[in-house]
Amino acid sequence: MVKPGGICPAAASWKAAWGITDIHRMPYFTRLILFLFCLMVLVESRKPKKRRWTGQLETSKPSHLHKKNFDMTKIPNGKPQPLLRVDDHDFTMRPAFGGPAIPVGMDVQVESLDSISEVDMDFTMTLYLRHYWKDERLAFPSTSNKSMTFDGRLVKKIWVPDVFFVHSKRSFIHDTTTDNIMLRVFPDGQVLYSMRITVTAMCNMDFSHFPLDSQTCSLELESYAYTDEDLMLYWKNGDESLKTDEKISLSQFLIQKFHTTSRLAFYSSTGWYNRLYINFTLRRHIFFFLLQTYFPATLMVMLSWVSFWIDRRAVPARVSLGITTVLTMSTIITGVNASMPRVSYIKAVDIYLWVSFVFVFLSVLEYAAVNYLTTVQERKERKLQEKFPCMCGMLPSRTMTLDGSYSESEANSLAGYPRSHILTEEERQDKIVVHLALSNESNSSRKKGLLKGQMGRRIFQNTHAIDKYSRLIFPASYIFFNLIYWSVFA
């Protein structure tokens, strides 16, 4: 660079070569040419030198014509000036400490309803929990009125509401790939605090109508430390504060309704707290239990009726059929109760299964009664045969005379019998007396008995009648029970 009153290095070398001692003595034209020469040398020295090819691609440098974005996070030289003056305040205290209660709005978006457990009586839900409040200590000047968004690292430095889930068994904040926490601060101090949580909470279920039941469960939110005098929880937009994903579905339940409520909760040692409720109603799908429980139980009852059409003398067939149906019903009852909590009251499915079990058991008792009465009748007939070994010589009572004489045609009818089969006069008199006594006894009872008594004796005298009546009574009774059951519980 040419200094004032001086010359460039190229001109100095040229002056030394020509032996010129004073440049001011040179002619004006010569000095002008020398100045132009120095200017050209200076321009040539500032041009970039050409690089030799090295076999590597050269990256293009960004053009100075592009406008650079202003970096708000850049700290100028000197004392650092943070965006939020977090260190200037004590954030262990709530906003407006000592003043009125700070309002904290809430809204929830349910992402999924993962599971419902009847045995543990709880449910698992994944949701986005959002808090809204105003903290003037976080206000910052802004010309564009744009908010600033932060991750979970700033949450540890400022005050946030201490909301927890009442009656929760376990819960956690998702941390893949980082903690799912978002904090958004507006210039006027408004704060949005959002997190993604999975919570398992208790649900008091009533199984008196199981599996034809509907269950209502609640997820309760409450401040742990601040009473209603310090912190006021409320739903930010009423019922619109709760939003659900349309794709939420459960295998056993139909989600009927989601709604929100709020009330005050009192603790004797600490005071009153605001509590928010997320309520949802579930109705159980019945088709699974129809296939797994009701249809098998009904088929077992109908299978037990088959024994009414089997011969009463087929003891192995009827006994094995009855025992099989009883054991199958016991297995169905055990399987249903294994997947249910041990409640102290009767469920709707218990009523159906145990009534079906009673019908199956009564079919076994029915055959026991038939078998017993058959045995008694055969024993009586055997005793009569032992007492009167041969009755072939006796004629019907209507052809007998009191003196034991026979007509000529009756005597001729006995001609074909061997003599050993023909009764003697004394034996004939004994048979006539016994038969007349039985005949007189039956006539007197028939005159004294009513129609109901006659039917009862006819049933006991003919064991086939018990099976005949059972074929009608058992199905009719079971159909009547089903009509009452489904009209009450369905």
**Higher per-residue confidence, 418 vs 281:** 281
Q: d(Cα 293, Cα 299) in Å, to the nearest integer?
A: 10
CB atoms within 10 A of CB 307: 23
Task: Look up residue 50 and give its two tokens.
Answer: 């050409």
Q: What is the DSSP string of 298-353?
A: HHHHHHHGGGGGS-TT-HHHHHHHHHHHHHHHHHHHHHHHHTS---SS--HHHHHH
Q: What is the mean pLDDT of the chain?
A: 79
pLDDT tens digits along 322-341: 999 999 999 999 999 888 88
Residue 483's pLDDT is: 97
Are the beta carbons of 168 and 199 closer than 8 angstroms? yes
Q: d(Cα 45, Cα 8) in Å, to the nearest integer?
A: 12
Minimum mean pLDDT range among 80-94, 135-149, 260-274: 80-94
CA-based nearest residue to 359, from 289, 302, 320, 294: 302
User: At 361, is the secondary structure helix, strand, or coil?
Assistant: helix
Place of tokens 């200094």: 3
Best-predicted range by mean pLDDT (78-87, 344-353, 375-384): 344-353
Task: Look up residue 269 and give its two tokens.
Answer: 């040692």
pLDDT tens digits along 103-143: 999 999 999 999 999 889 999 999 999 999 999 989 888 87
Query: 443 to each of 112, 170, 400, 438, how far by Cα in Å?
Result: 82, 84, 17, 9
User: At 412, is the secondary structure helix, strand, or coil?
Assistant: helix
Bond prior to 293 in cis (omega within 30° of 0):
no
pTM: 0.64
Beta bridge pairs of residue 221: 165, 276
CB atoms within 10 A of CB 210: 20
Query: 312 to each of 293, 316, 321, 455, how far by Cα in Å?
Result: 31, 10, 13, 20
Query: 103 to each of 134, 293, 471, how far by Cα in Å?
Result: 8, 52, 73
Are the beta carbons of 163 and 197 closer than 8 angstroms? no
User: At 8, is the secondary structure helix, strand, or coil?
Assistant: coil
